[in-house]
């Protein structure tokens, strides 16, 4: 079966289409944020079909991949269709020949840091691909997509990329994803009038508190300078290290069942505990410094997705495509004797904080604030506010759900994949994606500030501590 081509040209009847507000924020004088998606091939890469695949599969997914961002006579940014010169978007770097996989690990890391800092040339669509033909410790070759965040969020961009891939076991069948359903405490407690009134009052109070704190964090209150936050102005312009680690989804589910929490609660608790362990190992004085994580949320009005076709369905493009997310300010719990003796407390703390903030209207109110700022002061001022929000916090955490089946691209089986958000004015960025019952955590960190291997060891130790403690509950 051939790949399904998603024809979206009919959605763009005019030559120019307005850029969404979030798209304008992410490609402004204050911010330029992109996503690096890395596909790891099990076999050496044959790049001969590259241009055919890009022309026949990638470009038709969405007109934005064949468009540039321009300003109209009123200064409003628009997407304008252009002729794409594919050779300008394909890069095949050359490294020294005949070296060890560990040598090419370092080459790949340096290359990721380099392209993270590279700006997209004006007059070209906002994407590039990079083909690494050298074997690393994880793969026989790597394919890197760099996609500007103005094109869409992780949900949109993952749908775009995965629509170019097939299932290894049966190419005629679509890639599928774990099904998930959103539940709310309000539905569970619907039968109790008293509880409903109590919840309503609690929501109002929490919304006011969370929104007020978020406003202060975005405007005035900065996190402490710690081993995970340098506080340097322009940190997004500094070199970075990227490391990854893998965890068994089955083991994560064991913790989830034993503790009665969600998979996201487990992963967030592991990251929080591992981060505090790293801070403790690096500097006793600042191990419990004020540190805030921005946890990204998908705000689409959907219950989930089960296939790639649903992610990029042209008939539902307004619901599916673009940047549709919010963020929660979550304080990283402190590390003390109680948490060391009971590491599961970090999971419970993560669950409690995130559930409380999810149940408030802070995300909605923040969205309204951004829209108000944009309306009266313009998108550049709004982008500056978002930049301040990021800069004043210590880290960003985002996650995606990946396919259950092994996938392939042009008959190249994909051993693993991960993504990294770059251009963010923070010293630490963490992303997570599931694939074939494995959760891959990728960490981008300011080079020279953090020790990559020490941080990785601390995250792995945190997972082991929580996994071993969970059965006792």
Look up the CATH number of the domain holding residue 82: 3.30.559.10
Angle at 207 between CA 205 and CA 208, to 5 degrees: 70
Measured torsion, CA atoms of residues 192, 197, 199, 204, in degrees rounded to the nearest 10? 170
Same domain, 193 and 140: no
Q: Considering the domain boundaries, does residue 178 fall inside one?
A: no
pLDDT of residue 312: 52
pLDDT in tens, 430-464: 999 999 999 999 999 999 999 999 999 999 999 99
Q: What CATH number should be reported for the domain holding residue 333?
A: 3.30.559.30
Round to whole Å and give the CA distance between 17 and 322.
Answer: 13
Band (314; pLDDT cuts 50, 70, 90): very low
Same domain, 105 and 218: no
pLDDT of residue 439: 95
Band (85; pLDDT cuts 50, 70, 90): very high
Q: Considering the domain boundaries, does residue 412 fall inside one?
A: no
pLDDT of residue 337: 67
> Which of 146-160, 168-182, 298-312 is predicted most confidently?
146-160
**pLDDT value at 10 more than 50:** no
Q: Considering the domain boundaries, does residue 138 fall inside one?
A: yes
Band (120; pLDDT cuts 50, 70, 90): very high
Same domain, 139 and 228: no
pLDDT in tens, 287-300: 889 999 988 765 44
pLDDT of residue 179: 62
Q: Considering the domain boundaries, does residue 174 fall inside one?
A: no
**pLDDT value at 180 more than 60:** no
At 315, which helix (H) or strand (E)? none
Round to whole Å and give the CA distance between 467 and 344.
Answer: 9
pLDDT of residue 319: 47
Q: Considering the domain boundaries, does residue 410 fall inside one?
A: no
Round to whole Å and give the CA distance between 390 and 384.
Answer: 10
Residue after which a domain boundary falls, among 167, 201, 217: 167
Same domain, 112 and 57: yes
The residue to which tokens 């507000």 are assigned: 21
Same domain, 67 and 137: yes
> Which of 84-93, 216-225, 334-343 is predicted most confidently?
84-93
Same domain, 229 and 293: yes
Q: Fill in the DSSP letter of residue 168.
A: S
Residue after which a domain boundary falls, among 167, 195, 228: 167
Cα distances (angstroms) measured from residue 299 to each of 29, 158, 258? 26, 16, 29
Backbone φ and ψ for 398, nearest 5 degrees, come out as -140, 155
Same domain, 68 and 191: no
- The separation between CA 390 and the C-alpha centre of its own chain, rounded to angstroms, equals 14
Q: Considering the domain boundaries, does residue 175 fall inside one?
A: no
Average pLDDT score over residue span 400-404: 87
Band (193; pLDDT cuts 50, 70, 90): low
Round to whole Å and give the CA distance between 287 and 285.
Answer: 6
Domain that holds residue 257: 185-401+425-472
pLDDT in tens, 417-436: 999 999 999 999 999 999 99
Same domain, 138 and 203: no
pLDDT of residue 8: 41
Same domain, 105 and 196: no
Q: Out of 37-41, 148-152, 327-331, 387-391, which region has the weakest mean confidence (pLDDT)?
A: 327-331
Round to whole Å and give the CA distance between 179 and 89.
Answer: 35
> Which of 35-49, 67-81, 213-227, 298-312 is predicted most confidently?
35-49
Same domain, 253 and 145: no
pLDDT of residue 472: 64
Round to whole Å and give the CA distance between 434 and 441.
Answer: 9
**Nearest by Cα to 410 from 141, 205, 155, 156:** 141
Tokens of 423: 């251009």
The angle that helices 379-391 and 362-377 make with each other, rounded to 10 degrees, is 140
Average pLDDT score over residue span 202-209: 69
**Residue of higher predicted confidence among 326 and 165:** 165
Round to whole Å and give the CA distance between 87 and 51.
Answer: 8
Same domain, 157 and 195: no
Those residues whose C-beta lies under 8 Å from the C-beta of residue 155, and which sit 6 or more positions away, are 298, 300, 311, 320, 324, 325, 400
Band (13; pLDDT cuts 50, 70, 90): very low
Q: Considering the domain boundaries, does residue 111 fall inside one?
A: yes
Q: Considering the domain boundaries, does residue 179 fall inside one?
A: no
The number of folded domains in the chain is 2
Residue after which a domain boundary falls, among 115, 132, 167: 167
8 A C-beta contact, residue 396 and residue 421: yes
Same domain, 313 and 253: yes
**pLDDT value at 302 more than 50:** no
pLDDT of residue 310: 57
């Amino acid at each position: 079966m051939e790949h399904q081509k998603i024809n979206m040209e009919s959605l763009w009847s005019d030559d120019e289409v307005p850029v969404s507000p979030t798209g304008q924020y992410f490609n402004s004088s204050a911010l330029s944020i992109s996503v690096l998606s890395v596909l790891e091939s099990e076999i050496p890469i044959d790049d001969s079909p590259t241009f055919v695949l890009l022309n026949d599969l990638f470009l038709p997914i969405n007109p934005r991949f064949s468009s540039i961002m321009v300003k109209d006579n009123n200064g409003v940014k628009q997407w304008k269709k252009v002729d794409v010169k594919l050779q300008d978007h394909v890069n095949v770097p050359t490294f020294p020949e005949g070296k060890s996989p560990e040598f090419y690990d370092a080459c790949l890391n340096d290359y990721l840091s380099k392209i993270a800092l590279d700006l997209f040339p004006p007059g070209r669509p906002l994407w590039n691909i990079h083909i690494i033909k050298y074997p690393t410790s994880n793969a026989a070759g790597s394919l890197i997509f760099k996609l500007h965040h103005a094109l869409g969020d992780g949900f949109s961009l993952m749908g775009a990329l995965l629509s170019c891939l097939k299932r290894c076991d049966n190419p005629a069948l679509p890639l599928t994803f774990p099904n998930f359903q959103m539940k709310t405490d309000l539905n569970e407690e619907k039968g109790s009038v008293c509880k409903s009134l109590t919840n309503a009052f609690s929501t109002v109070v929490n919304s006011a508190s969370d929104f007020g704190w978020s406003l202060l964090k975005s405007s005035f209150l900065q996190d402490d300078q710690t081993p995970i936050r340098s506080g340097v102005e322009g940190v997004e312009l500094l070199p970075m290290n990227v490391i990854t680690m893998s965890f068994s989804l089955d083991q994560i589910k064991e913790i989830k069942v034993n503790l009665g929490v969600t998979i996201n609660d487990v992963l967030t608790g592991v990251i929080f505990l591992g981060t505090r362990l790293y801070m403790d190992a690096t500097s006793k004085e600042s191990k419990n410094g004020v540190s805030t994580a921005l946890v990204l949320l998908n705000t689409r009005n959907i219950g989930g997705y089960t296939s790639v076709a649903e992610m990029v369905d042209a008939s539902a493009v307004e619901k599916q495509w673009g940047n549709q997310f919010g963020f929660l300010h979550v304080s990283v719990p402190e590390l003390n004797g109680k948490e060391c003796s009971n590491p599961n407390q970090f999971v419970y703390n993560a669950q409690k904080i995130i559930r409380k903030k999810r149940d408030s209207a802070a995300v909605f109110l923040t969205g309204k604030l951004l829209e108000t700022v944009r309306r009266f002061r313009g998108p550049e001022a709004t982008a500056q506010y978002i930049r301040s929000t990021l800069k004043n916090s210590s880290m960003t955490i985002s996650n995606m759900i990946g396919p259950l089946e092994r996938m392939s691209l042009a008959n190249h089986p994909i051993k693993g994949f991960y993504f990294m958000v770059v251009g963010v004015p923070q010293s630490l960025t963490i992303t997570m994606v599931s694939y074939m019952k494995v959760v891959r955590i990728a960490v981008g960190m300011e080079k020279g500030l953090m020790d990559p291997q020490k941080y990785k060891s601390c995250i792995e130790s945190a997972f082991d501590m929580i996994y071993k403690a969970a059965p006792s509950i």
